[in-house]
Structure 1
Amino acid sequence: MVKVSSASVPATGEAAPLPSLVERAGGAARFAWDEYFYAVHHNPHTQKAYLRAVRRFLDWCEGQGRELPTITPGQVGQYLVGLGGSPAKRNLALSALRGFFDRLVNRHVVVLNPATSVKGVKDQVVEGKTPEITVEQARTLLASVDTGHVVGLRDRAVLATLAYTACRAGAAAKLRLGDFQHDGSQSVLRFQEKGGKSREIPVRHDLDGFIRAYVEAAGVGGQPKDSPLFRAAVNGTSRTLTGNPLTSKRICELVKRRLKDAGLPSRLSPHSFRVAAITDLLTQGVPLEDVQYLAGHAEPRTTGLYDRRQKKVTRNIVERISI
């Protein structure tokens, strides 16, 4: 197993010492570093993951006594083999290295990109790992919420948003008051998704009622349109909301807490609603391209990873084994 540095990566935007190999390679290398990590990648999660991957590789090269211009494809391949972990982890590292060395080539720091000819690890996924929440479980969960106070009304609205729009927790956390609007014929939610994509999803009548009941109880209807839709509570046991947004982490905690209170499996998560909605619609014969749009996927294959119909068929088959 290749030994890599476990040095922590600073948060996005914080100044941090450059890897020694980059410093020694000169101004053009330093420019390429800044350009690649802070001008090309604006998604903070991608930025952090790529920074970590490249830093670890350069630390390893430092230990091998290499300089940037002398790194070979064989060494990149050797590093990835020794890196271990899942195929996705190694492919992410390879993607980060290819992009970084492309910048070094463009800035004439190195002649050729040593990561270009290195093959990634095959990672065939036919079904995602996220467990599906059943229709009955989702109904039980929504019915279990005490809506006698504003936090309960908020939680019901959040859970119903996850269930009836198939959105990600992060997209729900980003919702602003102005994103819940009426287009002249129906209410819609405008989601800001991964990759800077924006989508409007129609709001079904029961979700519309849940959100309006929460907004009225919270007394936020007249606030600026760019203020958060779903607000954080003062603390874990409080029934009072703050003006701060409910983060995706807090939404995950909210779901876990409500699952526990309802006596439902703890392995379920906010993403389980997304799996359930996609599988349910496909089971009803809704065209894949329509479900793909609802899910906000760029490729139909990605939508297919959320389809649990095959698992249900398999479960029915194994129940018939006569042992």
Structure 2
Amino acid sequence: MPRLIMEAGTAAEFAWDEFFAATLRNPHTRAAYRRAVVRFLTWAEQFDLPLARLTPALAGRFITEYQGSAPSRKLALAALRSFFDLLVVRQAAFLNPFSSVRGERFSVIEGKTPEIGKDNARRLLASITASRPVGLRDRAIIGVLVYTAARAGAVASLRLRDFAHDGTQYGFRFAEKGGKSRFIPCRADLQAIMLDYLATIDTDAESKDAPLFRSVAGRTGQLTAKPIRGIDVYRLMKRRLKEAGLPTSYSPHSSRVTVITDLLEQGVPLEDVQALAGHSDSRTTKLYDRRQKKITRNLVERISI
């Protein structure tokens, strides 16, 4: 706990614990907000002022001098506004010095994640040799990324119970960001890939809470009972991209970009694509749309200089 919080007394300590242990449920948001708050409070120690006397001028100076990208500064400002709002509510501060600090204008009209493209996605899947359990697993994981537009973390979190037949079709039950739960049907070719992979696991003898995708025991190529993590999905895709002779700048998220762009190119309504992607706001879905980028490239090629 930063020194300024401890010196401010019980109310400030209570607000600190409440904010980081109870208010913020997403672990990634909690970690990012904590870094921003600690960074400010550590920086503010040089002015030898108590917590209650930190001013909007100091808050504005901190944001102006903040080292990082525009999105990083916006996140820091949001974190500090929220934290000091709670300090005011708990009467640990008289005012929120960040409430009057204006953030810089910043908007994104297209995401930075490169699109792997349909042909490269097919090439990647076809390149995976499925003669060993690890190959069957990797092909299944990449197949799920390609044919469901799910995030790497959601794929890594799947349990055996999350891939099941409901009487009419197989499907996946994903636990997504923001506590969302989504069911996505499994298309026929992906179903065949999944059933080949599941044949390597004695599913009848295992709990339905067991991980669907498992880690590998060293270089043996054999699967363990331990779950993979989101970072493992990232690493295995990089390895498979290299083996397929494809650019390693692609990532699991590149499949998500390709799926969204492909469906929009086919004229699928934006709201349907938004539902598949699990976005709360259609503006987020549009960030994944690379159609405009392709049009721009075509226009550039037509310059007759």
TM category (shorter chain) comes to: over 0.9
Distance in 1 between residues matched to 2:32 and 2:122, nearest whole Å: 37
Which SS does the other structure have where 1:217 is aligned?
A: coil
Shift of residue 120, structure 1, vs aligned partner? 1.6
Which SS does the other structure have where 1:258 is aligned?
A: helix
Question: 1:172 maps to which residue?
Answer: 155
Alignment match of 1:291 (pick from 265, 269, 273):
273
Structure-to-structure mapping, 1:16-27, within 5 angstroms:
18-27=1-10
Alignment match of 1:255 (pick from 237, 240, 250):
237
Question: 2:177 maps to which residue?
Answer: 194
Shift of residue 256, structure 1, vs aligned partner? 0.2
Shift of residue 173, structure 1, vs aligned partner? 0.5
Alignment match of 1:115 (pick from 91, 98, 116):
98
Distance in 2 between residues matched to 1:315 and 1:215, nearest whole Å: 43
Distance in 2 between residues matched to 1:128 and 1:225, nearest whole Å: 37
Alignment match of 1:35 (pick from 15, 18, 22):
18
Distance in 1 between residues matched to 2:84 and 2:36, nearest whole Å: 13
Structure-to-structure mapping, 1:101-140, within 5 angstroms:
101-140=84-123
Which SS does the other structure have where 1:123 is aligned?
A: coil
Distance in 2 between residues matched to 1:200 and 1:101, nearest whole Å: 39
The one-letter code of the counterpart of 2:162 is D
Alignment match of 1:44 (pick from 21, 27, 30):
27
Structure-to-structure mapping, 1:272-291, within 5 angstroms:
272-291=254-273
Question: 1:77 maps to which residue?
Answer: 60
The one-letter code of the counterpart of 2:254 is S
Which SS does the other structure have where 1:191 is aligned?
A: strand
User: What whole-Å deviation, never above 9, does each CA across 1:162-199 have from its counterpart, x for those lacking one?
Assistant: 00000000000100000001122111100001111110
Distance in 1 between residues matched to 2:154 and 2:211, nearest whole Å: 12
Structure-to-structure mapping, 1:90-105, within 5 angstroms:
90-105=73-88
User: What whole-Å deviation, never above 9, does each CA across 1:218-250 have from its counterpart, x for those lacking one?
Assistant: 333541111100000012x32111111111101
Contact 1:146 1:152 in 2 (8 A): yes
Please say which of residues 279-288 and 98-107 is displaced more in the overlay.
Answer: 98-107
Distance in 2 between residues matched to 1:21 and 1:206, nearest whole Å: 59
Give the alignment's Cα RMSD to 1 decimal.
1.0
Shift of residue 112, structure 1, vs aligned partner? 1.4
Structure-to-structure mapping, 1:216-235, within 5 angstroms:
216-235=199-218
Distance in 2 between residues matched to 1:67 and 1:280, nearest whole Å: 55
Where has structure 1 moved over 6 Å in runs of 4 or more? Answer: none
Question: 2:283 maps to which residue?
Answer: 301
Distance in 2 between residues matched to 1:120 and 1:221, nearest whole Å: 55
Question: 1:212 maps to which residue?
Answer: 195
TM-score normalized with structure 1 length: 0.93
Shift of residue 37, structure 1, vs aligned partner? 0.4
Distance in 1 between residues matched to 2:213 and 2:279, nearest whole Å: 24
Distance in 1 between residues matched to 2:220 and 2:236, nearest whole Å: 13
Distance in 2 between residues matched to 1:193 and 1:89, nearest whole Å: 23
The one-letter code of the counterpart of 2:277 is A
The one-letter code of the counterpart of 1:184 is G
Which SS does the other structure have where 1:110 is aligned?
A: coil
The one-letter code of the counterpart of 1:54 is V
- Identity in percent: 55
Alignment match of 1:310 (pick from 292, 295, 302):
292
Which SS does the other structure have where 2:72 is aligned?
A: helix
Query: Residues 43 and 146 from structure 1, CA distance in 2 versus in 1: closer, same or farther, beyond 3 angstroms?
Result: same
Distance in 2 between residues matched to 1:271 and 1:61, nearest whole Å: 38
Alignment match of 1:67 (pick from 43, 46, 50):
50
What are the ranges of 5 or more consecutive residues in structure 1 without an aligned counterpart? 1-17
Contact 1:178 1:226 in 2 (8 A): yes
TM-score normalized with structure 2 length: 0.98
Shift of residue 65, structure 1, vs aligned partner? 1.6
Distance in 2 between residues matched to 1:302 and 1:66, nearest whole Å: 41
What are the ranges of 5 or more consecutive residues in structure 2 without an aligned counterpart? none
Q: Alignment length, in residue pairs?
A: 305
Which SS does the other structure have where 2:263 is aligned?
A: helix
